[in-house]
Amino acid sequence: DIQMTQSPSSLSASVGDRVTITCQASQDISKYLNWYQQKPGKAPKLLIYDASNLETGVPSRFSGSGSGTDFAFTISSLQPEDIATYYCQQYDNLPPTFGGGTKVEIK
Amino acid sequence: QVQLQESGPGLVKPSQTLSLTCTVSGGSIYSGSSYWSWIRQPAGKGLEWIGRIYTSGSINYNPSLRSRVTISVDTSKNQFSLKLSSVTAADTAVYYCAREACSASCYLRNWFDPWGQGTLVTVSS
């Protein structure tokens, strides 16, 4: 299985801050990396697919980049409603696997 | 707009079989080139893919669970189902169903969208 390592596991930032989460794959996965947001008690919600494509309806302050083994997810200006846990997920090979998650809190 | 809803018992005894159904609404389970997946999440932990089914009947399972998992589809009811046998406390989790969306061949390189709301299954005597 392809291992996905996310960092940090948690972070605290102020409203308006730029926040970046990284995800590293244990092998080359090209661009086949997706990002999800999960709020407490809710199902994950797709934000970014194929590393950098913003899902329809998702605010433009969210973005993704990277290819190969190293990826980044950025919130350009953190908002109170962005408090959630964020997961990366690869689908270059079966089984699809997820990172351990990054919990984002407001300072 | 496709929506998914999980249903099934919330409590299962150890060594028994967990059975869940996902009902697809707002569209046909046949629509597009879609795989339909099951994913689970133990409380406070990360996400684990269990397996998926294509409406043609093609199935893939996570090797870590393959010996205990069965996924099936009932196209007449627009549903797909999960059975997990010989459950233990380690199988206690929120279970989600999800559609695999894609842009190309759709065997790989997909993403999960939308998801059902999830259903908590507790394994306890």
Question: Taking all residues of chain B, what is their mean pLDDT, rounded to a whole number?
Answer: 94
Return the pLDDT at B32.
Answer: 66
Instruction: Tell me which chain B residue has its CA closest to the CA of residue A36.
Output: B112
Residue contact A95–B47, C-beta within 8 A: no
> What are the residue ranges in chain A where pLDDT is below 50?
none
Instruction: Write the DSSP symbol of residue A81.
Output: G
Which chain A residue has its CA at the smallest distance from B117's CA?
Answer: A43
Question: Residue B57: what pLDDT?
Answer: 80
**What residues of A are in contact with residue B111 (Cβ under 8 Å)?**
34, 46, 49-50, 89, 91
| pLDDT value for A7 | 98
Look up residue A100 and give its two tokens.
Answer: 């351990």
Residue-level pLDDT at A17 = 98
Q: What is the pLDDT of residues B11-70, one digit of tens each?
A: 999 999 999 999 999 998 887 668 999 999 999 999 999 999 998 889 999 999 999 999
Q: Helix %, strand %, coil % for chain B, to 5?
A: 5, 50, 45
**Is B54 in CB contact (< 8 Å) with chain A?**
no
First to last CA, chain B: 39
